[in-house]
Amino acid sequence: MLEEKGFALTLVNPWFIKQMPGRKSDVKDAQWIGTLLHKYMLRKSYVPVKQIRTSRNYSRQYVKLQWNASRVIFINTLILVSLFFWILFFQFQLRKIQLTKQHLLK
């Protein structure tokens, strides 16, 4: 968004900023970082072109959607399998009760 407005953005690893000698306080952090950037004392990180970033965002979103879909399928399968075993269990219990009644009636 800022790039489209003409701002020059720089991505810097925070670890490199902390390694720079000098006074750093919460109040003057922005000024300190600005000074370091102005004096070219910070190494810029690689930022791919907009087309590649957009492609990566679509790819991440696709993977997230696929993962959510597979999770839903997995949960539904677990529900069906557990329901199947509950039905088997209750049928077994019912059959056991019926056999017990038949045995007592003899």
Predicted confidence (pLDDT) per residue in 22-33, tens digit: 766 666 778 888
pTM of full prediction above 0.85: no
Based on the domain organization, do 55 and 106 belong to the same domain? Answer: yes
Q: Tell me: the pLDDT tens digits for 81-92?
A: 999 999 999 999
Based on the domain organization, do 68 and 26 belong to the same domain? Answer: no
Based on the domain organization, do 57 and 42 belong to the same domain? Answer: no
Structural domain range at position 19: 1-47
Based on the domain organization, do 40 and 69 belong to the same domain? Answer: no
Count the domains in the chain. 2
Based on the domain organization, do 30 and 64 belong to the same domain? Answer: no
CA distances from 34 to 11, 15, 46 (A): 13, 16, 19
